[in-house]
């Protein structure tokens, strides 16, 4: 039996050494070869020599995981507490005083319910930032599904509020004549909006799963084309169309207020600017980040590891910003309303949280600030 020289063992030894280092690596590095070892002869590489340029190392995101492990639970906790208190106060105030007298009141109550529903899932979102998902498939599906239901119902309700304010301000006489039928229509349309939001969340109910590495994810790894199609459709239906409608309504409202002369319009214009600013600030960055992510997936991903890490940071931060909308809405759409502030103080007084002298002090303060044109201020403050 002929002896085997050390030079003849060089190639196999190199392969075995790389395999061992790959399996024992703490960073979970994976190597992929485009050609086999025998192709060294065809590429001009001598047997036993290794062309390392043909190997690709997987992009490690340890820094992203560390960032998510402390940032996301912290921000989710703040949003959960503020959103829980704010939306509960909105719902209790409307129910306690039975103030569902206008379309906006009905939509605000449903908006608070949608935000409250999502806020209750934030502890599970925080758990999803940990290393492994241990809460089972049902809660995994419920977490993503409730988020989509809350998101779509919230966007559709905000759009309906914009349309209602458009008719109340730019078509005031016609809107007042239809006031009695408007409340009934708002209740029926709210049910339809919830049903539509439930329909839009079917992909999350269907495709959300717990992966092999114990993470809760809405799509499988081999469904990139399906994911791109669904996310594009959801962004168009859940963001683009509502944004167009809201933009048209608020531009018309601004134009009407600028032409008015006989009432205080400065505060009303500030309210409109606040509505548009919060919507753009919370939703546009996240939707742009999701658009870039979707396009990146559609083109097979990027080979630039720095770009992949930066994109993950952008998605995490903008997602937290978008989640903040559920705790900002109570202050923006309800607490700035004159009548709602008065009812809220009365509720806190009945609950024993505010004394009668404090209630009288705040009531007189708001009355002194109110002008003769209280009706216009109330209308544009989203609490007719």
**Model pLDDT for residues 78-111, shown as the tens digit of each residue:** 999 999 999 998 888 888 877 677 888 888 899 9
pLDDT at 87: 92
Q: Distance between CA atoms of 370 and 378, rounded to whole angstroms?
A: 10
pLDDT digits over 323-368, tens only?
A: 898 888 888 877 777 777 777 778 777 777 767 777 676 666 655 5
What is the pLDDT averaged over residues 215-231? Answer: 71
Residue with tokens 């999502």: 118
Q: Distance between CA atoms of 286 and 292, rounded to whole angstroms?
A: 10
pLDDT at 80: 92
pLDDT at 215: 83
pTM of the model: 0.74
Q: Distance between CA atoms of 183 and 103, rounded to whole angstroms?
A: 5
Q: Distance between CA atoms of 203 and 24, rounded to whole angstroms?
A: 39
What the block records as the tokens of 360 is 């009288």
pLDDT digits over 224-268, tens only?
A: 677 777 878 888 888 888 889 988 998 888 888 887 765 555 566
Q: Distance between CA atoms of 17 and 9, rounded to whole angstroms?
A: 12
Residue with tokens 């044109």: 373
Q: Which domains does the chain have, with CATH numbers?
A: 20-54 (no CATH), 62-215+225-330+371-379 (1.20.1070.10)
Question: Residues with Cβ < 8 Å from 194, sequence gap 6 or more?
Answer: 110, 149, 153
Q: DSSP label at 372?
A: T
């Amino acid at each position: 039996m002929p002896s085997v020289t050390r030079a003849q063992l060089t190639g196999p030894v190199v392969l075995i050494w790389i395999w061992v280092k790959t399996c024992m690596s703490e960073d979970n590095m994976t190597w992929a070869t485009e050609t086999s070892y025998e192709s060294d002869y065809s590429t001009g590489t001598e047997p036993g020599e290794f062309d390392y340029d043909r190997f690709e190392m997987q992009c490690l995101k340890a820094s992203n995981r560390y960032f998510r492990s402390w940032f996301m639970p912290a921000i989710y906790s703040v949003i959960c507490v503020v959103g829980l208190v704010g939306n509960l106060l909105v719902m209790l105030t409307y129910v306690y005083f039975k103030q569902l007298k206008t379309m906006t009141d009905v939509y605000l109550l449903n908006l608070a319910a949608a935000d409250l529903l999502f806020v209750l899932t934030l502890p599970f979102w925080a758990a999803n930032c940990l290393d492994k998902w241990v809460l089972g498939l049902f809660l995994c599906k419920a977490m993503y599904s409730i988020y989509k239901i809350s998101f779509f119902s919230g966007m559709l309700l905000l759009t309906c509020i914009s349309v209602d304010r458009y008719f109340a301000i730019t078509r005031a006489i016609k809107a007042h004549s239809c006031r009695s039928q408007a409340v009934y229509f708002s209740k029926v349309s709210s049910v339809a909006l919830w049903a539509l939001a439930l329909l839009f969340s079917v992909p999350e109910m269907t495709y959300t799963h717990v992966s092999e590495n114990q993470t809760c994810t809405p799509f499988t790894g081999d469904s990139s084309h399906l994911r791109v199609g669904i996310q594009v459709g959801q962004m168009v239906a859940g963001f683009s169309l509502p944004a167009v409608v809201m933009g048209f309504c608020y531009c018309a409202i601004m134009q009407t207020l600028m032409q008015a002369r006989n009432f205080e319009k400065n505060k009303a214009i500030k309210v409109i600017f606040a509505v548009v600013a919060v919507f753009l600030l919370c939703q546009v960055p996240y939707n742009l980040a999701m658009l870039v992510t979707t396009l990146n997936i559609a083109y097979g991903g990027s080979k630039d590891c720095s770009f992949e890490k930066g994109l993950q940071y952008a998605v995490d931060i903008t997602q937290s910003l978008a989640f903040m909308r559920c705790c900002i809405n109570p202050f923006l759409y309800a607490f700035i309303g004159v009548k709602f502030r008065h009812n809220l103080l009365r509720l806190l007084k009945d609950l024993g949280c505010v004394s009668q002298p404090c209630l009288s002090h705040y009531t007189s303060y708001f009355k002194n600030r109110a002008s003769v044109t209280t009706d216009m201020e109330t209308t544009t403050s989203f609490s007719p």
